Structure 1
Amino acid sequence: MTSSAHHGQQTPPSESDAAVLEAVSIGIPSALSDLGHLVRIPGMAWPAFDQTQLERSAEAVAALVDGTGVFDEVRVLRAAVPGTDEFGQPAVLATRAARNGKPTILLYAHHDVQPPGDDELWETPPFEPTVRDGRLYGRGAADDKAGVMAHVASIRAVKEVLGDDLDLGIAMFIEGEEEYGSRSFAQFLSDNKEALRADAIVVADSGNWDSVTPGLTVSLRGNARFTMRVRTLEHASHSGMFGGAVPDAMMTTVKLLSTLWNDDGSVAVAGLLERDAPTPDYDEATLREEAGLLPGTTPIGNGTILSRIWNKPAITLIGIDATSVASASNTLLPEVTVVISARVAPGQTGEEAYEALQDHLRAHAPFGAELTFSDADLGDGFLADTSGWAAALTRDAMNDAYGVAPIDLGVGGSIPFIADLVREFPAAQILVTGVEDPHSRAHSPNESLHLDTFRNAVATEALLLSRMNAVDL
């Protein structure tokens, strides 16, 4: 099947499209109300948090999915975490068999959220949904409970319009531990392979070019996150007695970490690859505004700004265990532990990147310091094949819902489980969409959802489902 792009020009909607868009518009208030109820549930997958809240979240999502009235079965399930005796967090699996030769679509999102962080940094309480200036504020309001509700709201609208003529097969997988590393994701796919099998997969966990321009994510960076311990002494020593002759672990760590970057801030690790691909225009002023760069701080790296974010590796020090400022004393530290997070260019595996980083750090360790690596969390990037009919339908649906032609996006972040989807369902067309815009501040204080973007995202998916219902395989 082929579909022609409209290049940003809206054509008059068909009678069916107009009915779907009207149903979406009517349903948005209830969808936002339901989203608010979900935001109030602090479902975090970390063991340190109350796990009954995550169970509440899963049950609430299951009730909303079941309430659409289109699914043959809706269940809350857990899968084993490979290599452990644990089970993962509760996920919602809903299935509806295709009828009359129609395709099947799998809709993915996740209901777990990031911890809120410092409540003092929130202008309003993180789990109290608050609307101001056209945005809904709250933890998970964008990432990714809005993705959950985009699926639910679009199904409601299509069911309202098509009724018994809805023959499309639909599976829905709402994960409960995406923010905690998707530890049981691969096992869940294996356990439920037949229930999840689909011709197209929509992963609603990405973003858009801006609040008015839709984006189809076609590339994602991979990741290599790990812990490194740097040790130079058998025990702590007096800095006055031995300073100047004995290398302490902090100085050694600082010198070692500095070798990871060139003077311009670009990555200086041999073996970390770059992808050569064009990027849209994006200027420094936009970067400053969207990232919150301070006036006197300059960007880092080289090449176009988006190539640095989408197509090149990045290394960030995200954690350090050492003496706190409050406990500082004149002591040579025997060891320091850090957590390093690397983003890996699309096309290189997380394993290859991790090996390159270990080789570099060992080769550059000053003063013969002892290095120990542990807790590696690795994920591969994603390069989409957008030549299929489902991608064409998605782009057209975005165009007709937003009234603006979509942009193919790269994303600097990582969704490692997409590699699991590619492996398990190699014939499926994978479409990475989302409800976020550059000001959503996912994972940060004052996370928010742009309400107009949400409406357009729901309209996009409803048009996609309706039009897929007309496809004969």
Structure 2
Amino acid sequence: MSDDLRRAVQKVLPGVRADLEALIRVPSVSADPGATEDVSRCAQLTAQLFRAGAAQEVEILDDVPGARPVILASCPAPSGRPTVLLYAHYDVQPAGDPAIWSSRPFEPRESGGRLYGRGSADDKAGIATHLAALRAHGGRPPVGVVVLIEGEEEIGSPTLGAFLDRHRDRLAADVIVLADSENIEVGVPSFTTTLRGLANCVVEVRTLAESVHSGTYGGAAPDALTTLCRLLATLHDDEGHVTVNGLTTGHPSRTDYPAERFRAEAGVLDGVRLLGSGTIAERIWTGPAATVLAIDAPSVPEAANALTATARAKVSLRLAPGDNAIQARAALARHLRDHTPWGAHVQVTEAEIAQPYTVDARGPAFDAARRAYKRAYGADVVDLGGGGAIPFVAEFANAYPKAAVLITSPGGDPASRAHSTDENLHLADFERACLAEAFLLAELADWSTK
């Protein structure tokens, strides 16, 4: 059976690769109000692909107010077999300035064994992985399968909870496979077992009724931008540790992540010191992080010799597993209010949150998954943390608390540059991911009969 399934996956891969490239060509940027037609077009294309030999029933659902279309595909479970929910998303991040890409962001290009293009790794590869696994089984897998492909993950999946509530019974599953993470390195299958959370605030500082001449009033009257800079500097101590009180630090990770490798993958310039202390895994997976995401202030080309009256910034916390996003956001807001210098007027608006999450990676479903991925990759699975927040994971876990949750990679790795320029997918690992998921469906069928 194993050799037959390998051959079946190899047979469907050329078509799946072509389907992935077709998906990449659609600029389905959910954050762009002007891309509504492209988002809808990508949903239509995704549904069409699942109708082509992957699933027995396929629908496009648009029944949650304000939501982007959701694709729901299914194959009924044979008697006595479990049901597996396969998740991915078809929306992508904005491409930014096309001039800083090596090629056009929405035109797939292969180079050096990698497929370049926005969405190639995050997360249209997840869609393609599910297509390959199901087509390899002839659209009739040995377990029940429900496929959910959403179009809002890149904006925080704001309506996913309402969708799960509305269709809870149709989506119920024994195992949930979320193909939206990355392997720790090429050729090493990885399950993400912890995710940091997110807590954002927007802080606005005002010092003057209006901007005034910097020569006439500078030296006594504080400008808002300098005031804001001093405030933002209080988020870290001299070593780079986050100074916001009340945040949690998680348990140390057992996975090694060498500092030199991290520096290379992050593109840290020579001579620039890393923040904080402890292992790299502790700093990026199980500890908090504070980042200034953006500042509203006069641009350099438009600068005048004036004291700025108001300045604004968006501040983000990444939260350790075990923390509470609502409490952490309140702690950040309190820190910003309490540390504003010189009596400046400050307004803090509490913004987006995402709860951290820890997967209990034990039990027969995980045993089956480790066997399947080891057979496909020829290497043992590594459990790793995720530094980013994935809000939909907690949504699924809360909706289906008894289900085993697997967070897998559809072939991405740290060099895939998700959310950045020249996003790409390692094609050999993509093929291994397709094979691993096909094996997983077979393993779960065998497990269910024991």
Taking structure 1 as the reference length, what is the TM-score of the superposition?
0.92
Q: Secondary structure of the residue that 1:326 maps to in structure 2?
A: coil
Please give the root-mean-square deviation of Cα atoms over the aligned residues, in Å: 1.3
Q: Which residue of 1 aligns with 2:20?
A: 35
Q: Kindly state the Cα deviation for residue 314 of structure 1 after the two structures are TM-superposed.
A: 0.6
How far, CA to CA, are the matches of 1:440 and 1:403 in structure 2?
Answer: 21
Q: Kindly state the Cα deviation for residue 375 of structure 1 after the two structures are TM-superposed.
A: 5.5
Dislocated runs of 4+, deviation >4 Å: none
- Residue correspondences, number: 448
Q: Kindly state the Cα deviation for residue 440 of structure 1 after the two structures are TM-superposed.
A: 0.1
Preserved CA contact (<8 Å) 1:238 1:330: yes
Preserved CA contact (<8 Å) 1:279 1:307: no
How far, CA to CA, are the matches of 2:108 and 2:4 in structure 1?
Answer: 30
Q: Which residue of 2 aligns with 1:468?
A: 444
Q: Secondary structure of the residue that 2:163 maps to in structure 1?
A: helix
For residue 39 of structure 2, what is the amino acid of its counterpart? L
Q: Kindly state the Cα deviation for residue 371 of structure 1 after the two structures are TM-superposed.
A: 1.9
Unaligned runs of 5+ in 2: none
1:183 is the counterpart of 2:155: no
Question: Any residues of structure 2 matched to 1:325-364 within 5 Å, and which?
Answer: 325-364=300-339
Deviations 1:285-310 (A, max 9, x none): 20121111111222111000111000
Q: Secondary structure of the residue that 1:45 maps to in structure 2?
A: coil
Q: Which residue of 2 aligns with 1:381?
A: 356
Preserved CA contact (<8 Å) 2:20 2:120: yes
Q: Which residue of 286, 289, 294 corresponds with 1:314?
A: 289
Q: Which residue of 1 aligns with 2:137?
A: 158
Q: Which residue of 1 aligns with 2:31?
A: 46
Q: Which residue of 1 aligns with 2:72?
A: 93
1:57 is the counterpart of 2:36: no
Unaligned runs of 5+ in 1: 1-15, 81-85
For residue 19 of structure 2, what is the amino acid of its counterpart? D
Q: Which residue of 1 aligns with 2:227?
A: 252
Q: Which residue of 121, 127, 136 corresponds with 1:142?
A: 121
How far, CA to CA, are the matches of 2:428 and 2:188 in structure 1?
Answer: 11
Deviations 1:387-415 (A, max 9, x none): 12111111111111000101001010110
Q: Secondary structure of the residue that 1:469 maps to in structure 2?
A: helix
How far, CA to CA, are the matches of 1:142 and 1:274 in structure 2?
Answer: 30
Change (3 A) 1:47 1:122: closer
Change (3 A) 1:461 1:127: same
Preserved CA contact (<8 Å) 1:78 1:188: no
Q: Kindly state the Cα deviation for residue 52 of structure 1 after the two structures are TM-superposed.
A: 0.6
Q: Kindly state the Cα deviation for residue 277 of structure 1 after the two structures are TM-superposed.
A: 2.0
How far, CA to CA, are the matches of 1:409 and 1:285 in structure 2?
Answer: 18
Deviations 1:102-157 (A, max 9, x none): 10000000000011011111111001100010000000001000000000101111
Q: Which residue of 2 aligns with 1:74?
A: 58
Preserved CA contact (<8 Å) 2:194 2:357: yes
Q: Which residue of 1 aligns with 2:167?
A: 192
How far, CA to CA, are the matches of 1:335 and 1:371 in structure 2?
Answer: 10
For residue 77 of structure 2, what is the amino acid of its counterpart? A
How far, CA to CA, are the matches of 1:126 and 1:213 in structure 2?
Answer: 27
Q: Which residue of 360, 365, 370 corresponds with 1:390?
A: 365
Q: Which residue of 427, 430, 442 corresponds with 1:454?
A: 430
How far, CA to CA, are the matches of 1:29 and 1:297 in structure 2?
Answer: 44
Change (3 A) 1:309 1:444: same
How far, CA to CA, are the matches of 2:49 and 2:446 in structure 1?
Answer: 26
Q: Which moved more, 1:194-203 or 1:242-251?
A: 242-251
Preserved CA contact (<8 Å) 1:207 1:433: yes
Q: Which residue of 2 aligns with 1:115?
A: 94
Change (3 A) 1:226 1:77: farther
Deviations 1:202-242 (A, max 9, x none): 00000101011010110000001221111122211211222
1:400 is the counterpart of 2:408: no
How far, CA to CA, are the matches of 2:260 and 2:63 in structure 1?
Answer: 46
Deviations 1:311-340 (A, max 9, x none): 001111111111111110111111111111
How far, CA to CA, are the matches of 2:265 and 2:430 in structure 1?
Answer: 19
For residue 159 of structure 2, what is the amino acid of its counterpart? S
Preserved CA contact (<8 Å) 1:217 1:433: yes
Q: Kindly state the Cα deviation for residue 60 of structure 1 after the two structures are TM-superposed.
A: 0.5
How far, CA to CA, are the matches of 1:171 and 1:36 in structure 2?
Answer: 24
Q: Which residue of 1 aligns with 2:387?
A: 412
Q: Which residue of 1 aligns with 2:268?
A: 293
For residue 291 of structure 1, what is the amino acid of its counterpart? A
